[in-house]
Amino acid sequence: MNLAVKISLLSSGLFLLAGMFVGIVKHQQMLKSVDHMAPAYIDIAHRAAFLYSFAMLVIAKLLEYSPYSETVQLVAMGLVLVFLSVTIVGYFITGMMNKTDNLFRHRDFRTTWYVYMLTVGEIGGLAIILWGFVSTQFLGRA
């Protein structure tokens, strides 16, 4: 198992653990709230952590079939991992501040340039990983 796969699996486990810890915060916020609802972005962070955990499992499996060098695999996986991680942290911080239920109501760096960079980084990284899988498993390239 190469380093990119190991990091993907580790991050999957860490995202799963983060989701559980955010779930504790979510539960505490629900108990304190008059309407028994957690702030919207705590709820989003909770769900995103679980979803991203499984996304990193899929990435780990796809990387096992990659024809690319370990460096290329690390860069592609790292792009996805960094943006997923930063996004969860951003959701959590926004939820703890509880100032909005919609970040896109006011345009700023996070809702414009960060989203553009996230789109290129996540889709680009995954496209490289997925193409590696397709090329070895369907096109017969080594």
Find out whether 136 and 67 touch, Cβ atoms under 8 Å: yes
Residue 75 lies in a domain: yes
Residue 17 lies in a domain: yes
What integer pLDDT is reported at residue 59 of this predicted model?
98
Residue 43 lies in a domain: yes
Residue 92 lies in a domain: yes
Mean pLDDT, range 47-63, rounded to an integer: 98
Per-residue pLDDT tens digits for 117-142: 999 999 999 999 999 999 999 999 87
Find the Cα–Cα–Cα–Cα dihedral 32, 35, 41, 44, rounded to 10°.
110
Whether pTM > 0.85 for this model: the answer is: yes
Inter-helix orientation angle 40-63/3-32, to 10°: 160
Residue 142 lies in a domain: no
For the record, the structure tokens of 81 come out as 């991992």
Per-residue pLDDT tens digits for 78-109: 999 999 999 999 999 999 999 999 999 999 99
Residue 95 lies in a domain: yes
Residue 7 lies in a domain: yes
Task: List CB contacts of 68: < 8 A, sequence separation 6 or more.
Answer: 76, 128, 132
* Tally of structural domains, the chain: 1
Residue 26 lies in a domain: yes
Rounded to whole angstroms, the Cα distance separating 102 from 105 reads 6
Range of the domain at 58: 3-137
